[in-house]
Amino acid sequence: MEIIKGGVTAAKGFEAAGVEAQIKYTDRVDMALVYSTAPCKVAGTFTTNVVKAGPVIWDRDIVQKSPYAQAVVVNTGIANACTGQQGLDYCRQEAQTAAALLNIPENAVLVGSTGVIGKQLPIDRIKTGIEKLVKAKSDTTEAGSMAAKGIMTTDTVSKEIAVSFEINGKKVTLGGMSKGSGMIHPNMCTMLAYITTDAAISKELLQEALSASVTDTYNMISVDGDTSTNDTCLILANALAGNDEITQKGEAYDKFCEALNYVNTFLAKKMAGDGEGATALFATKVYNAPTKQDAKTLAKSVIGSNLTKAAIYGHDANWGRILCALGYSGVQFAPEKVDVFVESKAGKIQLCQNGLEADYSEEQATKILSEPEVTVLVDMKNGTSEATAWGCDLTYDYVKINADYRS
Amino acid sequence: MEIIKGGVTAAKGFEAAGVEAQIKYTDRVDMALVYSTAPCKVAGTFTTNVVKAGPVIWDRDIVQKSPYAQAVVVNTGIANACTGQQGLDYCRQEAQTAAALLNIPENAVLVGSTGVIGKQLPIDRIKTGIEKLVKAKSDTTEAGSMAAKGIMTTDTVSKEIAVSFEINGKKVTLGGMSKGSGMIHPNMCTMLAYITTDAAISKELLQEALSASVTDTYNMISVDGDTSTNDTCLILANALAGNDEITQKGEAYDKFCEALNYVNTFLAKKMAGDGEGATALFATKVYNAPTKQDAKTLAKSVIGSNLTKAAIYGHDANWGRILCALGYSGVQFAPEKVDVFVESKAGKIQLCQNGLEADYSEEQATKILSEPEVTVLVDMKNGTSEATAWGCDLTYDYVKINADYRS
């Protein structure tokens, strides 16, 4: 597997665009299009929130019922959530507009929205935006990057990646983009992530690969514990790589899954590290746990702890908060067995041994914790399972951003 | 029932003290004593965190096995959590020291600690503190207030209350004090709360009354979602009121429960409103829900949402975040039925009707949200059950306090 330049336009036959449509912001790219010249198999995972945004309902229908998909239209600024029948009608109008311009069926168009909840889309500006997107679309790397910009909200950097690998002598490419900065605590999926591939793969295996990968990647990140109404992860596969269609598990499927996992892990970590107001990516790896699920639950509890997140911001080796967060996770364990370490580019140090304070230098710990990527390592000494979760620190700026997000 | 002056010394036979012992801070009262001249029935509820502090293990044993209790010794500054066998030995040494000075059995002394996790108690200073406490103890209102000060950590105000009521012609008094500012997300009980009463009541009913009350009071507050290692709520009943001992449910028991509930609700709200860095008490009342448990889960999800808490801080009527938090609570419901209101001293306004934005004035909403006590009202229109949860806003100061709490 090779990491290559680009994002959603890296795979054969995919085009993209990002344009300014003045949905909520002025002077910034706020709409994106992903288009495939050939029909795509599509798989998706969506928010488990009872309150589901219009685009989630629309896309779930397409994934379940449409024979294929060929385009995704996304806007930022307004989430089209808590907007009722009107909001759902607007999804249809978006799809109709794009379908007419792209000469594809209405039910081949997926839609996505992110931003403020409870406001209706300015549907005229959306339609004008779609016209601009269709005119601007291209298969260049730059077009993919513009699309990645067009889905950002409070993100400070756009997030995209692409990889290529071989299946039976055919080069297959997989690329993706995502956004996510606040209201990030995915359950089933993350805010918005769009993956494109030219692999030929059956719809069933595409969905299975995506669902499995999401569990270990997007579902293992948290910025603020708030599971969004709009969480959507879609993958479009147009089969243009020319490989024999993957219709059963085996070497080819494994290669595909490995690449998909790499892309999703990259995007998930990018989202966590770019959490609203964050100054650091804060990972927690729990190992030697009795079960994979235990390890996951424990790791997520640590990266979700506000007190631990604030301590990371303060570069404070407050390992007691880590043990406390493990303790209220719901997993039963023996505290007197647990070892805790922190690690970053600046080194690695043990803070806690067998549940008690280890003999360590606060100065060295602070140095390690002052890096932009910090990992807490937790050895449960009670099994062989492991899991990693990713979050970020809790800062003044998180509060600032969210105290008056709507204005 | 009458609200009277005082706290833990309000009931007959109870004495208290608070002194400076230089446990971690200098120039502040940091140890407290509660003492009863007569042996007390004792009941308690403790943290559900797997990582339990030494004092939690010690007190649970006393509550379960001792025939009676007569004193509580508490320190702030160091939590005596994650301190292993040494920490537990120090609990015994505290109890022994107090027992010798008060001339009561060692197993009649409860202990409590709050503060930094992972550090051992400075046991010599603790012992000197206990000597000072025993010398200083008195039954005055002032002594009770000093004790309430002696258990504070980052609390900005001390928390105490007392009520009196009649049982079969006898005046019974119930008083309490608590502390709690960060690491507050009680599960079974809160940080530290100590209730005293001169009521005569059986140990079984005392425990039943406490457990039931804790569920609706301390367990319904959250400051930061972090369930502490030290959560402890104790009630001491010394029977000096002279009422016929309450040994079965009925009018007398109900009166006792009503008073206990009042005291616990008062202290719980005080703790939520004094959450670390908080500028507002942020309550959520969910009503017309299918079950009491649904109403509780929904209400707690709203007051626990970082995004909603930040919006409250910003006086921003961001009702979409409220609906989002209801949606990921785990309770199934029809979003299109939900109404949301906000209320404070400045008025009441509807933000959301049938899951959609209501027609309201942002200016008026901001005015209502600018008060120090704000309540979100959620009408589920699907049943008759209700519950209230209490939290606080999320502010810069929460981050500041917790970014470097240890130094």
List the single residue in B51, B324, B335 with the smallest CB-CB distance to A327.
B51
Instruction: Decide: B308 and B318 in contact? Cβ < 8 Å.
Output: yes
The C-alpha of A29 sits at a distance from chain B's nearest C-alpha, in angstroms, of 24
Indicate if A135 and A151 belong to the same structural domain: yes
Of chain A, the percentage scoring pLDDT greater than 90 comes to 75
Residue % of chain B over a pLDDT of 90? 74
Q: How far, in Å, CA of B338 to CA of B353, rounded?
A: 6
DSSP B294-334: HHHHHHHHHHH-HHHHHHHHTT---HHHHHHHHHTSS----
Domains contained in chain B, number = 2
Q: Please check the confidence at residue B182 and state whether its pLDDT lies above 70.
A: no
Q: What is the pLDDT of residue A183?
A: 64
Choosing from A154, A173, A190, A229, which is the catalytic residue?
A190
In the annotation, is B232 catalytic? no
A328, A332, A366, best to mutate vs chain B, most B CBs in 10 Å: A328
Q: Do B248 and B312 sit in the same domain of this protein?
A: no
B270-279, B321-330, B391-400: which has the highest mean pLDDT? Answer: B321-330
pLDDT at position B93 over 60: yes
User: Given B307, B355, B407, which is nearest A226 (Cβ)?
Assistant: B307
Q: Answer yes or no: do B224 and A307 touch at CB < 8 A.
A: yes
Residue B314 to residue A404, Cβ atoms within 8 A: yes
DSSP symbol at A106: G
pLDDT at A237: 95
pLDDT of B121 reads 96
Whether A201 and A66 map to the same domain: the answer is: yes
Task: Please answer whether residues B231 and B189 qualify as being in contact, where contact means their C-beta atoms are separated by less than 8 angstroms.
Answer: yes
Substitution target in A82, A323, A382 with the highest count of B β-carbons within 10 Å is A82
Q: Which of A80, A62, A79, A61 is nearest to A71 (CA)?
A: A62
Task: For residue A316, list chain B residues with Cβ-Cβ distance below 8 A.
Answer: 403-407
Q: How far is B308 from chain A (nearest CA, A)?
A: 8
Residues of A in contact with B360 (CB under 8 A): none
Q: How confident is the model at residue B184 (pLDDT cuts 50, 70, 90)?
A: low
- CB-nearest to B399 from A119, A310, A406 is A310
Higher pLDDT, residue B376 or A27: B376
A108 and A151 in a single domain? The answer is yes
Residue that is last in its domain, among B220, B240, B273? B273
Its pTM stands at 0.83
Least confident of A57-61, A81-85, B91-95: A81-85
Dist. CA A245–CA A289, nearest whole Å: 38
Query: Do B6 and B153 fall into the same domain?
Result: yes
With bands split at pLDDT 50, 70 and 90, how would you rate the model's confidence at B142? very high
Would the pLDDT of A189 be above 70?
no
Which residue range is the domain that position B337 belongs to?
A: 281-403
- Taking the C-alpha atoms of residue A110 and residue A91, their distance in angstroms, rounded to an integer, is 9
Among candidates B335, B395, B407 on the partner chain, residue whose Cβ is nearest the Cβ of A51: B335
Residues A125 and A66 occupy one common structural domain: yes
**B188, pLDDT greater than 80:** no
Are B226 and A119 a contacting pair at CB < 8 A? no
Task: Give chain A's largest Cα–Cα span.
Answer: 68
Same-domain check for residues B287 and B269: no
DSSP conformation letters of B184-225: ---SSS-SEEEEEE---B-HHHHHHHHHHHHHHTGGGB-SSS
Give me the amino acid identity at B126. I
Q: For B264-292, give the secondary structure using H, E and C.
A: HHHHHHHHHHCCCCCCCEEEEEEEEECCH
Gap from B210 CA to chain A (nearest CA, Å): 22
Contacts of B187 in chain A (CB under 8 A): 328
Among residues A273, A298, A329, which one ends one of the domains? A273
Give me the percent of chain B exceeding a pLDDT of 70: 96
Check whether B131 has a pLDDT greater than 80: yes
Asked whether the beta carbons of B244 and B204 are under 8 A apart, the reply is no
**A402, B224: Cβ pair inside 8 Å?**
no
Among the partner-chain residues B319, B324, B335, the one whose CB lies closest to the CB of A183 is: B324
Do B238 and B298 share a domain, yes or no? Answer: no
Judge if A170 and A45 occupy the same domain: yes
Instruction: Name the catalytic one among B190, B196, B265, B375.
Output: B190
Helix axes A251-273, A203-216, angle to 10 degrees: 40
> Mean pLDDT in chain A?
91
Average pLDDT value for residue range B96-119? 95
3-state secondary structure B33-60: EEEEEEEEEEEEEECCCCCCCHHHHHHH
| Span B2-18, average pLDDT | 95
The answer to whether the CB atoms of B311 and A403 lie below 8 A apart is yes
- CATH code of B159's domain: 3.60.70.12
The two three-digit tokens of residue B75, written as one number:
């320190």
Model-level ipTM above the cut of 0.90: no
Does A330 or A19 have the greater pLDDT score? A19
The CATH number covering residue B372 comes to: 3.10.20.340
- DSSP one-letter code for A107: G
Tell me phi and psi for residue A142, to 5 degrees. -65, -40
Determine the pLDDT at residue B11.
Answer: 95
**Residues of A with Cβ-Cβ distance to B400 under 8 angstroms:** 396
pLDDT score, position A182: 66
Summarize pLDDT for A284-304 with one digit per residue, the tens: 999 999 999 999 999 999 999
pLDDT score, position A274:
84
Q: For B65-90, what is each residue's pLDDT tens digit?
A: 999 999 999 999 999 988 999 999 99
Angle at B122 between CA B121 and CA B124, to 5 degrees: 130
The answer to whether B348 and A144 have CB atoms below 8 angstroms apart is: no
Do B315 and B238 have their domain in common? no
Same domain for A240 and A368, yes or no, is no
Give the burial class of B358: count Cβ atoms within 10 A of its Cβ; 0-12 exposed, 13-18 middle, 19 or more buried.
middle
pLDDT top residue among A225 and B338: B338
- Interface residue of A399, A401, A406, A407 to substitute, partner B, most B CBs within 10 Å: A399
| Dist CA B335 CA B405 (whole Å) | 40
- pLDDT for B265-286, tens place per residue? 999 898 888 877 888 999 999 9
Write out pLDDT tens, residues A344-366: 999 999 999 999 999 999 999 99
Looking at the fold, whether B331 and B202 belong to one and the same domain comes out as no
Last residue of a domain, one of A209, A239, A273: A273
Decide if pLDDT at A115 tops 50.
yes
For residue B385, give both structure tokens: 């059950």
Task: Give the least confident one: A170-184, A202-216, B47-61.
Answer: A170-184
- Is the per-residue pLDDT at B189 higher than 60? no
Percent of chain A exceeding pLDDT 70 equals 96
Select the residue of A328, A336, A395 nearest B227 (Cβ to Cβ).
A328
Query: Could A50 and B326 be called an inter-chain contact, meaning their C-beta atoms sit closer than 8 Å?
Result: yes
- Residue A188 has a pLDDT of 40
- Over range A190-205, report the average pLDDT: 89
In a mutational test of the A interface, the residue from B328, B331, B406 whose CB has the highest number of chain A CBs within 10 Å is B328
Handedness of CA B99, B101, B102, B103 (dihedral sign): positive
